[in-house]
Chain A
Amino acid sequence: MGPDASALRAELRELVGEHVPPGFLGAFTDDPADLETAQRFCRTLAERDLLCLAWPAEFGGRGASVWEQTVVREEMWAHHEPRGAQYMGVNWVGPVIMRYGTAEQQRTHLPAIAGGEVIWCQGFSEPDAGSDLASLRTAARPVPDAEGGGWRIYGQKIWTSYALMAQWCFLLARTSAEGRKQEGLTVFLVPMSSAGIEARPIATMLGPHHLNEVYFDGVPVTAADVLGEVGQGWKLVQEVLAFERVGIARYARCERLLLAAPAVLGGQWDTLPEELRARWARMLMHCRRARLLAYRVISLQSAGTVTPGDAAAYRIAVTRLDQESAEVLMDILGLAVLGGADGNWFRAEVEDHLRYAQASTVASGSIEMQRILLSRALLSGAS
């Protein structure tokens, strides 16, 4: 990955060690101190030009290599994403605005994202439009010019992370019912403080990671809020998904917890059933496998030859790793007596990993959709 990437990894670890308390389980717990930690950490990164280091210099970034970006993804996920919601603004909201936004939109949004000052949420999924996203029904109804013009938005979004604390929503809504369902969709950049928006939390078993539903009841938007062109929404969302193609570096957290286990258990490690230690070793192989599959996608992506099938193989492997490693870690936990600070953080992190991993094959594109992409790639042109 090169010396720059190694130096960056060391720098990030040092910053995490210094600014993120042990036992931190992400920004969105029931403890407001965790959100403050994340906000502070983002400002620290921003001050050192590390928050949006992948951005081009003209927008305040430093044009980092794909490998440096990979290091950031790995280190942040390994340590429970101490950037909180910011990763979304930095990873794809900002870049999409760079590409499609008006000068005014760029002036409004990019410095705020680069400074770690703003939280975005994503308004894509709906109760009846999950994997079949193009079926979404949230509608932007035109308002006659005589009444002020623009649109009013009606509908419901669901599984919206950060909705309760976000200042802006990257909203996909239907502006036309004509043609194919992928046509007639438009992206709006909507302030969450707009009249007519109500966000409600959803209680889930996934632990302290807030999901919400968001209701839009006649929310006014204007042409100035449209990102790109009216009717171009599906194309933009495909680009968003491409930015996220490699997705979360889940293997990094799995590996960090697996590697911590022997030290945390100390002398108890040798008393574990041999078969459990063999499962542990197998999971480390799976971590390496997932990491290398990710690196392959990154190489292909930087050469401009990546296909959806390439990324799908990685995503299937890494989401299953997430779930299987959680099972192995829980088995290890069940056979150990742990106390002290090390024991406590390890227990809390492993239990959190188990809860959160349950959804990894559903979140950000279900494993079924990845399987469809991969099988299409395997079978295309086959005779």
Chain B
Amino acid sequence: MNIELSEEARAFGNTVREALADAGGDQLIRAAERDPARRSGAVAPLLAELGLWELAPRVDADDLEAAAAACRAAGWWCAGYPVAERLARPADLDVDGLLVVAGPRPAAATANLDLRWAAVTVDGRRGLVTAMRPDGPPRTASFVATLDIAPARESGSGDPALGLVLTCWTLLGMLDRALDLTRHYVRVREQFGQPLSAFQGVQFQLTDAEVERAGLEMLAKYALWSFGAASEAAVADALAARLAAIEAAEIVFRVAHQLHGAIGFCDETQLSWLSRYSQPLRRLPLGLSATRAALAAEIGTHGLAVQ
């Protein structure tokens, strides 16, 4: 078992984070929403320059960790670009990325991008996305599009675990940031003559959120290792990480909003953007109950042993 990223992977993550900051940071998602046609504009070429699309996370353990760190960096800035989904692309198909899909109306946050997608179900059935229809303008739909998928012959062993786990890393980066913004805010915002951080009720809410965030971080690392080690339990481990991610996101964003008060819902705060754009990651391909059901079906009576 390995539950730490290598120093190199962490350094690569920092590089990606700094490069995204230079490219606009918090402004990236605003620019994408303002001009959806240019959604890939600043981000995709920059990440290409950093060699992100040359990573081979399916075959190289170092690349796998680097990919996870990059997804986390993209989540931190709410970059508005499907970094995890592109990094999960199957090498044996002529596509740009992979989407894990489920349910009677498959959908993903892939609108306004000129990319070719493979799709895979949690049980490994592959397909190719043949058409997508945006659910609405990004302001309300957060780039979610309904997908038409033609079944493909190849089976996608390894696809669902990698697809699920890398998106958990994106969400982890968003939760890192939401908590960081909140920690900062409660130190500077004063009510009743003292900073909010001096109220124990505020401190305890922050700790509740941090327990969730830290727990997700460990499960995301474990699931990443499990995929890299080609564990038989890789899909179950990825689903467990996804379940932790959904539960953590609900609590972290609830606390972040609560402690920010009304200002946290305004476009002038980055929390508002993170919160809105976390929604597709939390609800697709599987929401809370559907993830619980999928995990239960996957583990049967085996449980979730830590190896």
Contacts of B289 in A (CB 8 A): 272-273, 275-276, 279, 331, 335
Q: Does A131 lie within 8 Å of B191, measured CB to CB?
A: yes
Q: Does B254 lie within 8 Å of A351, measured CB to CB?
A: no
Instruction: Check B27 for interface membership: any CB of A closer than 8 A.
Output: no
Q: Does A203 lie within 8 Å of B105, measured CB to CB?
A: no
Q: How far is the CB of A231 from chain B (nearest CB, A)?
A: 22
Q: How far is the CB of A262 from chain B (nearest CB, A)?
A: 15
Contacts of B268 in A (CB 8 A): 203
Asked if A337 meets B292 with Cβ closer than 8 Å, knowing A205-B272, A205-B275, A327-B250, the reply is: no
A interface residues (Cβ-Cβ under 8 A, vs B): 125, 128, 130-132, 135, 158-159, 202-207, 211, 268, 272-273, 275-276, 279, 323, 327, 330-331, 334-337, 351, 358-359, 361-363, 366-368, 371
Interface size on B, residues (CB 8 A): 33
The segment from B36-44, B218-226, B234-242, B259-267 found at the interface with A is B259-267
Q: Does B250 lie within 8 Å of A367, measured CB to CB?
A: no
Give complex CA distance A135, B199 in Å: 18
User: Who on chain B is nearest to A159 by CB?
Assistant: B262
Q: How far is the CB of B300 from chain A (nearest CB, A)?
A: 16
User: Who on chain A is nearest to B289 by CB?
Assistant: A276
Q: Does A130 lie within 8 Å of B284, measured CB to CB?
A: no
Residues of B contacting A: mostly: helix
Give complex CA distance A351, B276 in Å: 12
Q: Does B103 lie within 8 Å of A273, measured CB to CB?
A: no
User: Who on chain B is nearest to A273 by CB?
Assistant: B293
Contacts of A366 in B (CB 8 A): 258, 261
Contacts of A362 in B (CB 8 A): 257-258, 261-262, 265
Question: For chain B residues 8-41, which have a beta carbon within 8 Å of chain A?
Answer: none
Most buried by A among B201, B283, B284, B288: B288
Q: Does A203 lie within 8 Å of B287, measured CB to CB?
A: no
Contacts of A276 in B (CB 8 A): 289-290, 293
Q: Does B105 lie within 8 Å of A337, measured CB to CB?
A: yes
Give complex CA distance A273, B191 in Å: 45
Contacts of B261 in A (CB 8 A): 130-131, 362, 366
0/1 per residue, B289-306, Cβ < 8 Å to A?
Answer: 110110000000000000
Q: Does B272 lie within 8 Å of A204, measured CB to CB?
A: yes
Asked if A130 meets B191 with Cβ closer than 8 Å, knowing A335-B103, A358-B275, A359-B265, the reply is: yes
Some 13 contacts from A to B, beta carbons below 8 A apart, are: A130-B261, A202-B267, A203-B266, A204-B265, A206-B265, A275-B293, A276-B293, A334-B286, A335-B290, A336-B104, A358-B265, A362-B258, A367-B258
